[in-house]
């Protein structure tokens, strides 16, 4: 097996770890003084909770369901390996840390100048991405960050084009990336380690080496930035996005943890994530919004999240956002409304050049040294265009399925509601006398001498009475019309 080569996920599928998982408690039963509720976590025994009657168990079941719903809907907790393994053990049973160590060990055997100082456990939110603090034996004082990651379901470049793109992108991150390596299934990168951490670490005032759940789930000292910092950092980030878009490259992973501030200059990191095909942490949010269906609109949507976090010291709880907390920066709120409001999410995102021209960012002056250019070979540009189209096609298909499921759920909820059931009962009671009189005229029988009775239902043909056997007429069309009207009363 060559360096970094390994088998894909079980079943040969590349999983999207941002896909939300749900858990429902379907039933409960008493077993050996315990109540098992359809999940692997049992309820406490009877002697501890004091009661096992039906109502008490039902109350406990509702409480546990609310607890599970909270876990599966939390943006950080729901992506943790513990939750994924509990809800989907078939797809998350692998030991990803052990796999990463094996691949990194193979790399160090091929390039012995590097040495591992310590693994940075759970430094990032990705299940299939692991970090190690390393050093170069020839430069013992400088520290580097090694990251190993599985390729994702949105990887559409060939291995050759992927390697060419990676070499192109690594020079645009924080200073120079000393080493990058890709294969058919994974990638390994080494970049300088920032002791100050990411922009999110600075906003939350936490140490960069700690677990991301400990750092970001409930930070105690987080604080928004000053207006001048928001203007400068925001303009620099927008210029970086414009540079990528003008070069035909796509990012899709902009958030505060992927921004590093180096001597007053914001630089984007992990910009290779787009071509590696790994899913964005905000994918569950923008898949709900059908107007966000291009890589450019995804970057603008992510920028709105980042701008909100720079302003308020925390990301928005949900999107759309129509009520923004009061801040002394009205120009910031106007930009946030143009990206995160209900109207913006329904009508579409503004462009990056349009955001640069807003009063918030238009008067920010940048040093010429901050401006870069990317020269993309024409052949590679065409491959990136095709990969971008495939990525957007997959996104639109997922949005279409979510929209269909939402419509079906609304229809089922409406049809099963108490109000709709009462309405159907009222219609049935009103129609029952007329249906009875119609049926008396429509279901006739003739017998004996062959004398025919005139039909009382004008739409029914006269019975042929040449024999003494009963003749049953067809159901009156009014009955069918009534039945059809009940089903057509449910709006989809």
Sheet holding 139-150, edge to edge: 114-120, 129-136, 139-150, 186-192, 179-182
Residue extents of the structural domains in the chain = 35-73, 96-402
User: For 103-133, what is each residue's pLDDT tens digit?
Assistant: 888 888 888 889 889 989 888 999 999 999 9
What length does the chain have? 492
- The rounded mean pLDDT for the chain is 79
More confident residue, 435 or 10: 435
For residue 283, what are its two tokens?
């994918």
pLDDT at residue 255 is higher than 70: yes
The mean pLDDT value for 31-43 works out to 36
What pLDDT score does 14 carry?
A: 67
pLDDT at residue 72 is higher than 90: no
pLDDT at residue 29 is higher than 70: no
C-alpha–C-alpha distance, residues 67 and 74, integer Å:
11
Contact 187, 294 (CB under 8 A): no
More confident residue, 344 or 140: 344
The mean pLDDT value for 20-46 works out to 46
Architecture, CATH, for domain 96-402: Orthogonal Bundle (1.10)
Out of 3-12, 18-27, 274-283, pick the least confident: 3-12
pLDDT at residue 460 is higher than 50: no
More confident residue, 161 or 453: 161
C-alpha–C-alpha distance, residues 152 and 156, integer Å:
9
**Per-position DSSP letters for 390-458, written without gaps between them:** HHHHHHHHHHHHHHHHHHHHHHHHHHHSHHHHHHHHHHHHHHHHHHHHHHHHHS----SS-PPPPPSST
What pLDDT score does 97 carry?
A: 85
More confident residue, 74 or 432: 74
The mean pLDDT value for 4-11 works out to 43
Contact 321, 336 (CB under 8 A): yes
The mean pLDDT value for 278-305 works out to 95
Beta-bridge partners for 166: none
In the chain, pLDDT over 90 holds for what percent of residues? 39
User: For 461-491, what is each residue's pLDDT tens digit?
Assistant: 444 444 444 444 344 444 343 344 444 444 4
What pLDDT score does 471 carry?
A: 40
What pLDDT score does 401 carry?
A: 94
In the chain, pLDDT over 70 holds for what percent of residues? 75
């Amino acid at each position: 097996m060559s360096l970094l080569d390994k088998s894909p996920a079980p079943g040969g599928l590349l999983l999207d770890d941002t896909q939300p998982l749900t858990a429902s408690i379907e039933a409960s039963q008493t077993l050996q003084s315990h109540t098992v509720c359809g999940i692997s976590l049992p309820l406490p025994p009877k002697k501890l909770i004091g009661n096992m009657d039906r109502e008490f168990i039902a109350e406990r079941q509702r409480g546990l369901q609310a607890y599970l719903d909270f876990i599966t809907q939390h943006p950080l907790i729901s992506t943790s390996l513990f939750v994924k393994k509990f809800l989907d053990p078939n797809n998350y049973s692998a030991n990803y840390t052990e796999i990463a160590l094996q691949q990194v060990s193979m790399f160090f055997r091929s390039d012995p100048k590097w040495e591992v100082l310590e693994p940075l456990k759970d430094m990032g939110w990705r299940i299939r991405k692991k970090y190690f603090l390393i050093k170069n034996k020839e430069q013992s004082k400088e520290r580097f960050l090694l990251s190993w990651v599985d390729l994702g379901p949105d990887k559409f470049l060939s291995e050759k084009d992927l390697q060419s793109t990676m070499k192109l992108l690594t020079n645009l991150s924080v200073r120079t990336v000393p080493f990058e390596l890709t294969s058919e299934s994974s990638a390994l990168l080494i970049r300088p380690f920032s002791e100050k951490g990411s922009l999110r670490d600075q906003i939350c005032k936490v140490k960069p080496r700690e677990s991301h759940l400990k750092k970001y789930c409930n930070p105690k000292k987080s604080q928004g930035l000053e207006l001048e910092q928001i203007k400068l950092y925001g303009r620099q980030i927008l210029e970086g996005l414009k540079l990528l878009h003008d070069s035909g490259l796509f990012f899709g992973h902009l958030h505060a943890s992927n921004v590093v501030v180096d001597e007053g200059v914001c630089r984007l990191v992990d910009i290779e994530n787009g071509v590696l095909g790994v899913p964005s942490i905000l994918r569950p949010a923008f898949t709900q919004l059908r107007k966000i269906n291009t890589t450019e609109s995804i970057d603008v949507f992510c920028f709105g999240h980042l701008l909100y976090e720079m302003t308020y010291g925390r990301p928005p709880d949900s999107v759309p956002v129509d009520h923004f907390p009061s801040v002394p920066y009205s120009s910031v709120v106007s930009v946030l409304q143009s990206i995160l409001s209900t109207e913006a999410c329904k009508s579409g995102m503004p462009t990056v050049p349009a955001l640069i021209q807003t009063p918030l960012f238009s008067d920010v002056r940048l040093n010429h040294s901050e401006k870069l250019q990317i020269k993309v070979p024409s052949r590679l540009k065409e491959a990136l265009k095709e990969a971008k189209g495939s990525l957007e096609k997959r996104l639109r298909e997922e949005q279409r399925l979510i929209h269909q499921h939402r419509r079906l759920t609304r229809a089922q909820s409406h049809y099963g509601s108490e109000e709709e059931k009462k309405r159907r009962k009222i219609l049935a009671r009103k129609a029952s006398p007329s249906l009875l009189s119609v049926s008396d005229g429509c279901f006739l029988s003739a017998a004996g001498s062959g004398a025919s009775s005139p039909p009382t239902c004008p739409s029914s043909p006269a019975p042929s009475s040449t024999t003494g056997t009963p003749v049953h007429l067809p159901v009156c069309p009014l009955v069918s019309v009534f039945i059809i009207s009940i089903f057509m009363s449910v709006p989809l």
